[in-house]
Structure 1
Amino acid sequence: MVKKYGISALLLFGVYILVMYVYIFHSNSGGIPESLQGTVADPHTFMSEQEVYLSEEYSKIKNFLFFVATPFEWLVYIFILASGLSQAFENSLLIKVKWGIIKKAVYLFLLSLFIFIVLFPLDYYRYYLSKNYGISNQNFSSWMRDILIDFWVNYGMTVVIVTVLYWLIYKNTKKWWINACLLMIPFSIFMMFIQPVVIDPLYNDFYPLTDKGLETKILTLAEQANIPANHVYEVNMAEKTNALNAYVTGIGSNSRIVLWDTTLNQLTEGEILFVMAHEMGHYVEKHIYIGIVVYTFTTILGLWLIAKLMPWIIARFGSRLKIKQIHAIHSFPLFLLITSVLSFASSPLTNYISRYEETRADDYAIELVAEPSAAVSTFQKLTIAGLNEVNPPLLVKWFRYSHPTMLERINKVVDDTSE
Structure 2
Amino acid sequence: MARKIGLYGILAYIVYGLFFYWYLFYFADSSLPFEYEGSSADPATFLNGRELTLSEEYSKIRNLLFFLSTPFEWLLYIFVLLTGLSGAFKKWAGQSSKFKMIQVAIYTFWLSLFAYAVTFPLSYISHSLSKSYNISTQSFPSWMKDELIDFWINYGTMLIIVAVVYWLMSKSQKRWWLYAWLLSVPFTLFVMFLQPVVIDPLYNDFYPLKDKQLEAKILDMASQANIPAEHVFEVNMAEKTNSLNAYVTGIGANSRIVLWDTTLNRLTDDQILFIMAHEMAHYVEKHLYIGIAGYLLLSLLGLYLVARLMNIIVAKWGEVLRIPRVNDIRSFPLFLLLLSVLMFAASPFSNLVSRYQESRADKYAIEMTDNVEAGVTTFQELSRAGLSQVNPPLLVKLFRYGHPTMLERISMLEEYELEKRRENQE
Q: Normalized against structure 2, the TM-score is what? A: 0.97
- Aligned to 2:41, the other structure's residue is in SS state coil
- Which residue is 2:372 aligned to? 372
- Which residue is 1:167 aligned to? 167
Q: Is the 8 A contact 1:219 1:231 kept in 2?
A: yes
Once the two structures are TM-superposed, the CA of residue 292 in structure 1 deviates from its matched residue by 1.4
Q: Is the 8 A contact 2:246 2:260 kept in 1?
A: yes
1:73 aligns with 2:67: no
- Which residue is 2:423 aligned to? none
Q: Distance in 2 between matches of 1:96 and 1:210?
A: 52
1:41 aligns with 2:41: yes
1:239 aligns with 2:202: no
Q: Is the 8 A contact 1:95 1:107 kept in 2?
A: no
Once the two structures are TM-superposed, the CA of residue 96 in structure 1 deviates from its matched residue by 4.0
Once the two structures are TM-superposed, the CA of residue 279 in structure 1 deviates from its matched residue by 0.4
**Seq. identity, %:** 59
Q: Distance in 2 between matches of 1:165 and 1:7?
A: 31
Q: Distance in 2 between matches of 1:178 and 1:22?
A: 42
Pairs within 5 Å for 1:57-206: 57-92=57-92, 95-206=95-206
- Aligned to 1:92, the other structure's residue is in SS state helix
**What letter matches 2:12 in structure 1?**
L
Q: CA RMSD in A?
A: 0.9
Q: Distance in 2 between matches of 1:5 and 1:252?
A: 48
- Aligned to 2:390, the other structure's residue is in SS state coil
Once the two structures are TM-superposed, the CA of residue 30 in structure 1 deviates from its matched residue by 2.6
For residues 155-179 of structure 1, what are the alpha-carbon distances to aligned partners after superposition, in whole Å with 9 as ceiling and x for unaligned?
1121122101110011111100111
- Which residue is 2:319 aligned to? 319
**What letter matches 1:269 in structure 2?**
D
Q: Distance in 2 between matches of 1:266 and 1:146?
A: 25
Once the two structures are TM-superposed, the CA of residue 95 in structure 1 deviates from its matched residue by 4.3
Q: Is the 8 A contact 2:391 2:406 kept in 1?
A: yes
For residues 63-105 of structure 1, what are the alpha-carbon distances to aligned partners after superposition, in whole Å with 9 as ceiling and x for unaligned?
1111111111100000000000000000116644222111010
Once the two structures are TM-superposed, the CA of residue 208 in structure 1 deviates from its matched residue by 0.5
Q: Which moved more, 1:60-69 or 1:2-11?
A: 2-11
- Which residue is 1:351 aligned to? 351
- Which residue is 1:409 aligned to? 409
Q: Distance in 2 between matches of 1:5 and 1:259?
A: 48
Once the two structures are TM-superposed, the CA of residue 154 in structure 1 deviates from its matched residue by 1.1
Q: Is the 8 A contact 1:207 1:233 kept in 2?
A: yes
Once the two structures are TM-superposed, the CA of residue 128 in structure 1 deviates from its matched residue by 0.1
**What letter matches 1:169 in structure 2?**
M
Q: Distance in 2 between matches of 1:196 and 1:5?
A: 44
Q: Which moved more, 1:367-376 or 1:89-98?
A: 89-98
For residues 155-206 of structure 1, what are the alpha-carbon distances to aligned partners after superposition, in whole Å with 9 as ceiling and x for unaligned?
1121122101110011111100111111001100100000000000000000
- Which residue is 1:227 aligned to? 227
For residues 106-164 of structure 1, what are the alpha-carbon distances to aligned partners after superposition, in whole Å with 9 as ceiling and x for unaligned?
00000000000000000000000000000000000000000000001111121122101
- Aligned to 1:248, the other structure's residue is in SS state strand
Once the two structures are TM-superposed, the CA of residue 14 in structure 1 deviates from its matched residue by 1.3
Q: Is the 8 A contact 1:95 1:106 kept in 2?
A: no
**What letter matches 2:172 in structure 1?**
N
Q: Is the 8 A contact 2:281 2:365 kept in 1?
A: yes
Q: Distance in 1 between matches of 2:68 and 2:192?
A: 30
How has the CA–CA distance of structure 1 residues 95 and 192 changed in structure 2, closer, same or farther, with 3 Å as cutoff? farther
Once the two structures are TM-superposed, the CA of residue 18 in structure 1 deviates from its matched residue by 1.2
- Aligned to 2:237, the other structure's residue is in SS state coil
Q: Is the 8 A contact 1:219 1:230 kept in 2?
A: yes
Q: Which moved more, 1:21-30 or 1:181-190?
A: 21-30
Note the residue ranges of structure 2 that are not aligned, 5 or more in a row.
Answer: 420-426
Pairs within 5 Å for 1:248-397: 248-397=248-397
Q: Is the 8 A contact 1:135 1:385 kept in 2?
A: yes
Query: How many residues are paired up?
Result: 419
How has the CA–CA distance of structure 1 residues 85 and 22 changed in structure 2, closer, same or farther, with 3 Å as cutoff? same
Q: Normalized against structure 1, the TM-score is what? A: 0.99
Q: Distance in 1 between matches of 2:157 and 2:78?
A: 23
- Aligned to 1:247, the other structure's residue is in SS state strand
Q: Is the 8 A contact 1:95 1:102 kept in 2?
A: no
- Which residue is 2:418 aligned to? 418
**What letter matches 1:218 in structure 2?**
I
**What letter matches 1:318 in structure 2?**
G
- Which residue is 2:14 aligned to? 14
Once the two structures are TM-superposed, the CA of residue 417 in structure 1 deviates from its matched residue by 1.1
Q: Distance in 2 between matches of 1:186 and 1:252?
A: 14
Q: Is the 8 A contact 1:29 1:394 kept in 2?
A: no
Q: Which moved more, 1:10-19 or 1:168-177?
A: 10-19
